[in-house]
Amino acid sequence: MTMFDPRARSPLIADEIGTILRRAPVEVLLAYPNTYRVAGSSLGMQVIYRALNSRDHVACHRAVLPDDALEHPGQVPVHSLEFAKPLADYDAVCFSIAYELDLAHLVLMLEGSGIPALASERGPQHPPVVVGGPLTNSNVLPLGLFADVVVMGEADLAVYTLLDWLQERPDRAALTAQAAGMPGFWVPSIHGDAVPELLSVRGDAIPARGVWHSPQAEFRNMMLVETSRGCPRYCKFCVVRAPVAPVRSPELDQVVAVLDRPEFEAAPRVGFVGAAVSDWPFFKDILRAALERGKQVGVSSLRADKLDDELVDLLHQGGYRTLTVASDAASQRLRGKMMKGLRERHLMEAAEQARRVGMKLVKVYVIIGLPDENDDDIQELIDFGQRLSKRVRSAITLSPFVPKLHTPLAEAPFEPAAAQTKKLQRIQRGLGGRVDVRFDSPRQAWVEYRLSQGGIQTGHAVLQAARNGASLGAWKAAFAELDRRLPDEERSAVQAAQRHGLWTLTGAR
Ligand code: SF4
């Protein structure tokens, strides 16, 4: 057992409010494979942190990706934020993972700590590695080489089953044997690429609520509470569309009761989380309740067709200075094809509402490279941007379309980065500096695409890329090597799903 200083709290959490500082006979590490800034704003991680700290016999501490882990792959050890205890000394290591590109970070956190990243190379002396989180809602297969156990989908309740097992301090073999027989637990060493169906909690597990708030988190000094889970809509590109994640919502008084909890009273800001927050019928009521309690507010997503003057004014009173809405496609034709259910006039009205209450900026999210997108669609976006900028200062953020499993577009093509770059340049030229055009890197999106579509063996590319610092060049070389070694069908998550007849991977239902 390595020595560590139990008083050495990480500076990252020096100003965090809500930290749980407990020691117990069984200690579990909850890791987030990204920076504290991102991890600190994950409501899912907070729910699991609270659950794993809910029994006397077990304590849970957290860890995040060290700042220099990418510069020195495999050489930067990970310690808990609460007690600076090395990751390898924990009885179990759990990861909460949200994004494909964080797969490489997960590898770096394990290898930097002396735990083999490949599950097949770990022995009885190593802690079991359990993974869950939003990434399991799309393609989980590239985790298969690294995880001993994966909790599929919504883990709010499954975490207590895990806790039952962990408090007996099982070794890896015992834990995987227990998990393999339970619905919603994927044990890659036993199940191979036949992943179980996603877990879905009932409404009584909602609303999830936060544990901590911090000035160093992306959602600065903000306590988070859920106002809905899933979505009632059917946008074809989205992994939380109704057939996969049906909507479940709390009553107003349940969320108001959360605002009155002591940990929420102590926070200057409160953030309302959900895929469809503005669809929640009590949204204005909860904004009023937050304002009455002197809070600033944040909202995870807003639909332009759900806004009106009163609602936008409430947001403004709650500290909003930028109104962010999603168009999600370049043209009306594509929004229709994607079943977005939104028209340009909704976006224009939202801009007017923002202007009227004195907001400084309207930001619109657009997905580029959707199937069948053509020159006319791009021209319509340029025309829209020009009209928008005459009403209010505007920004358009362009994100490359990445087809995801569990959606009807799972098998759609990814537009080559060169073609996307041409479109981005055309949009920038067309808007002539009148709109602040930002875009996510098409090359990075290509990496996300490969990970979104890859089978279990894709983990080898993750391992190689991580060991080479996870730069774009490292990812490209790693996928080239994978493509040389493996036939198509062993690289494809869609084909794995088809082999096993899994509806969940193609969203066929
Ligand atoms: S894009 Fe938004 S509105 Fe559409 S299904 Fe997804 S969460 Fe719902």
How remote is the C-alpha of 230 from its chain's centroid? Answer: 14
Distance 239 CA to ligand 1 centre (A): 8
- The helix-helix angle for 417-431 and 442-453 (nearest 10°) equals 140
Q: Is the per-residue pLDDT at 2 higher than 80?
A: no
- Residue 506 is predicted with a pLDDT of 42
Instruction: List the chain domain ranges.
Output: 11-191, 203-440
What digits encode the pLDDT tens for the residues 147-169?
Answer: 999 999 999 999 999 999 999 99
Distance 242 CA to ligand 1 centre (A): 8
Taking residues 250-277, report their average pLDDT.
96
Q: Is the per-residue pLDDT at 489 higher than 70?
A: no
Distance 425 CA to ligand 1 centre (A): 28
Distance 491 CA to ligand 1 centre (A): 29
Q: Is the per-residue pLDDT at 4 higher than 90?
A: no
- Residue 116 is predicted with a pLDDT of 98
**Closest atom of ligand 1 relative to the 232 alpha carbon:** 8
Model confidence at 509, pLDDT cuts 50, 70, 90, reads: very low
Q: Is the per-residue pLDDT at 415 higher than 60?
A: yes
Nearest CA to ligand 1 atom 2: 275
What digits encode the pLDDT tens for the residues 111-144?
Answer: 999 999 999 999 999 999 999 999 999 999 999 9
Q: Is the per-residue pLDDT at 63 higher than 90?
A: yes
Nearest-Å Rg of the Cα atoms of the chain is 23
Distance 340 CA to ligand 1 centre (A): 8
Q: Which two tokens stand for residue 405?
A: 């499993």
CATH pick for 203-440 out of 1.10.3810.10, 3.40.50.720, 3.40.50.300, 3.20.20.70? 3.20.20.70
Ligand 1 pocket residue status of 245, Cβ below 6 Å? no
Handedness of CA 138, 409, 437, 441 (dihedral sign): positive
Ligand 1 pocket residue status of 241, Cβ below 6 Å? yes
- Residue 486 is predicted with a pLDDT of 82
Distance 240 CA to ligand 1 centre (A): 7
**Closest atom of ligand 1 relative to the 340 alpha carbon:** 4
Distance 235 CA to ligand 1 centre (A): 6
Ligand 1 pocket residue status of 175, Cβ below 6 Å? no
**Which is higher by pLDDT, 422 or 506?**
422
Nearest CA to ligand 1 atom 5: 241
8 Å CB contact between 325 and 304: yes
Distance 446 CA to ligand 1 centre (A): 22
Ligand 1 pocket residue status of 240, Cβ below 6 Å? yes
- Residue 6 is predicted with a pLDDT of 56
Name the residue with tokens 């597990």.
Answer: 205
Ligand 1 pocket residue status of 231, Cβ below 6 Å? yes
Q: Which two tokens stand for residue 434?
A: 């009148």
Nearest CA to ligand 1 atom 7: 275
**Closest atom of ligand 1 relative to the 279 alpha carbon:** 3
Q: Is the per-residue pLDDT at 463 higher than 90?
A: yes
Q: Report how far residue 488's alpha carbon sits from residue 93's, in angstroms, rounded to the nearest whole number.
A: 33
Q: Which two tokens stand for residue 11?
A: 């500076």
Model confidence at 3, pLDDT cuts 50, 70, 90, reads: low
CATH of domain 11-191: 3.40.50
8 Å CB contact between 37 and 218: yes
Ligand 1 pocket residue status of 235, Cβ below 6 Å? yes
- Residue 19 is predicted with a pLDDT of 96
Ligand 1 pocket residue status of 52, Cβ below 6 Å? no
- Residue 386 is predicted with a pLDDT of 97
8 Å CB contact between 262 and 293: no
Q: Is the per-residue pLDDT at 504 higher than 70?
A: no
Q: Report how far residue 415's alpha carbon sits from residue 413's, in angstroms, rounded to the nearest whole number.
A: 6
- Residue 283 is predicted with a pLDDT of 97
Instruction: Fill in the amino acid letter for 356.
Output: R
Extract the runs of DSSP E, i.e. beta strands, from 65-217.
92-96, 129-132, 149-151, 185-186
Q: Report how far residue 196's alpha carbon sits from residue 194's, in angstroms, rounded to the nearest whole number.
A: 7
Distance 301 CA to ligand 1 centre (A): 9
- Residue 502 is predicted with a pLDDT of 63
Q: Is the per-residue pLDDT at 495 higher than 90?
A: no
8 Å CB contact between 103 and 35: no
Of 226, 227, 236, 240, which is best to mutate to test ligand 1, by the most ligand atoms within 8 angstroms of its C-beta?
240
Q: Report how far residue 312's alpha carbon sits from residue 330's, in angstroms, rounded to the nearest whole number.
A: 24
* Mean pLDDT, the chain, integer: 94
Instruction: Fill in the amino acid letter for 343.
Output: R
How remote is the C-alpha of 309 from its chain's centroid? Answer: 31
Distance 476 CA to ligand 1 centre (A): 31
Q: Is the per-residue pLDDT at 22 higher than 90?
A: yes
Ligand 1 pocket residue status of 233, Cβ below 6 Å? yes
8 Å CB contact between 471 and 372: no
**Strand pairing of 185-186 and 149-151?**
antiparallel
Model confidence at 508, pLDDT cuts 50, 70, 90, reads: very low
Q: Which residues, including other chains, have CB under 8 Å from residue 180's CB and lie 6 or more apart?
A: 187, 190, 191
Distance 400 CA to ligand 1 centre (A): 17
What burial letters (b/e) apply to 177-191, b meaning 16+ CB within 10 Å? ebbeebebbbbbbeb
Of 226, 228, 233, which is best to mutate to test ligand 1, by the most ligand atoms within 8 angstroms of its C-beta?
233
Nearest CA to ligand 1 atom 6: 238
Ligand 1 pocket residue status of 290, Cβ below 6 Å? no
Q: What is the largest CA-CA distance in the chain?
A: 65
Distance 29 CA to ligand 1 centre (A): 33
Q: Is the per-residue pLDDT at 505 higher than 60?
A: no
Distance 429 CA to ligand 1 centre (A): 30
Distance 108 CA to ligand 1 centre (A): 33
Taking residues 332-336, report their average pLDDT.
97
Q: Is the per-residue pLDDT at 271 higher than 80?
A: yes
Alpha-carbon torsion, ordered 138, 142, 147, 150, to 10 deg: 20
**Closest atom of ligand 1 relative to the 301 alpha carbon:** 2
Taking residues 429-450, report their average pLDDT.
95
Do the domains 11-191 and 203-440 sit in the same CATH topology, yes or no?
Answer: no
- Residue 7 is predicted with a pLDDT of 63
Distance 409 CA to ligand 1 centre (A): 14
Of 226, 235, 303, 367, which is best to mutate to test ligand 1, by the most ligand atoms within 8 angstroms of its C-beta?
235
Model confidence at 280, pLDDT cuts 50, 70, 90, reads: very high
Instruction: Write 305-311 long-range contacts (CB < 8 A, 24+).
Output: 305/341, 305/342, 305/343, 305/346, 306/278, 306/279, 307/278, 307/346, 307/349, 307/350, 307/353, 308/353, 309/353, 309/356, 309/357, 310/284, 311/278, 311/283, 311/284, 311/287
Percentage of the chain exceeding pLDDT 90: 89
